[in-house]
Amino acid sequence: MTSLSASLPPTLRLVQAVGIMTSAFLSGGVLAVSYGFVPSMSQAPNTLLVREWKTTYGRGVAASPALAIVSTLSFAWLSYSLSFTLNHHKAEVYALAAVATGSIVPFTLIFMKSVNGKLNHKVENSKHLNRMEEMNETKDKKGEHSQELLDWWAVLNFTRGLLPLAGASLGIYASMMS
């Protein structure tokens, strides 16, 4: 059984590769932060923990939107290009891949804005602490501790990383459909 990908023009095959690779790369990066970075920082003093989170968060903010846009637009272009052919089902799967990958943006804004704001507030507050205060963080007025906030952020971020993974998986599936 041969894939219809081989019968696609080279431009669309390139777009397939770009969509799948950028979506998978985005997912891997996001999941690695939740699975690798957050647990490794659990023994760090709270001020270091939130400062390192801020650095890692900044790197993600710099790279993730572009990857999500490239992948989403790639899948959307494939869907649009194939919707005028006999490959309607394939076009629909690419549309789902675009939606899955692109939904990382509204997920972040809707579900993570609050915890991102709280962690950013912790970062700002940590700049005014002396060494002893840094080592002995207590819960803030709302009863939130840096580690607890970061653990919740990691759960949300992991969930968020599954969205482009679903997009990459759907993109692979569509590229293999006959």
pLDDT, tens digit (0-9, with 9 covering 90-100), for 5-22: 557 899 999 999 999 999
Q: Which residues contact 58 (CB under 8 A, 6 or more apart)?
A: none
Q: Which two tokens stand for residue 171?
A: 């993109």
Position of tokens 């969930």?
159
Q: How far apart are CA 1 and CA 3, in angstroms?
A: 7
What DSSP character marks residue 86?
S
Q: How does pLDDT run across 119-143, given as a tens digit for each residue?
A: 999 999 888 766 555 555 555 556 6
